[in-house]
Amino acid sequence: MALKIGTIAPDFTLPATTLGSITLSKDLAGKALILYFYPKDFTPGCTTEACEFRDQFAAFRDLDIPVFGISRDSLASHEKFKQSHRLPFELLSDASGKVCKAYDALIPLIKMPSRVTYLLDKEHKIAGVSEGLFENKAHVAVMLKLIHT
């Protein structure tokens, strides 16, 4: 089950594909943003979701809402995934799974990230949530609807 709307998003620092590392409270202070957690690079559902975020990226960019994908894959895997699918947003590597767990986005028995997407407001409170392992494109549609209401 995902974090509840209105909850303050847990702070984190994670390595990023092109920005070195990202610290939520420092690098994204005062910014609304999208965090989407996904199971694994190069799998069919995760590729579909990443490409949907890519295809709809202009809508987020135009509203100055950065998008960040997070999984337990290595930074090297993320870099290949990002390049292979021309993803215009950062992928963050949570190798330990601590951030996934803090966001209630870790499947307990297998320690793999679940598919959950958060919209954080400028104060980094959870403003919207979409979850469901098989609704990969739906996560993007839900986020677009939330930012346009």
User: Which tops the pLDDT comparison, 29 or 131?
Assistant: 29
Q: Name beta bridge partners: 110.
A: none
Question: What integer pLDDT is reported at residue 140 of this predicted model?
Answer: 86
- Summarize the confidence of residues 5-31 as an average pLDDT: 95
Positions marked catalytic: 46
- Residue 92, amino acid: L
- Summarize the confidence of residues 129-146 as an average pLDDT: 80
Residues 82 and 17: their CA atoms lie apart, in Å, by: 8
Residues 34 and 38: their CA atoms lie apart, in Å, by: 13
10 Å CB burial of residue 76 (0-12, 13-18, 19+) is exposed
Q: Is the pLDDT of residue 40 over 80?
A: yes
Q: Which H helix or E strand runs over 68?
A: strand 67-71
**pLDDT tens column, 41-58:** 999 999 999 999 999 999
**pLDDT tens column, 65-85:** 999 999 999 999 999 999 999
What domains lie within the chain, and their CATH numbers?
A: 30-147 (3.40.30.10)
How far is the CA of 83 from the CAs of 89, 95, 109, 115, 125, in angstroms?
11, 20, 31, 22, 31
Confidence label for 133 from pLDDT (cuts 50, 70 and 90):
low
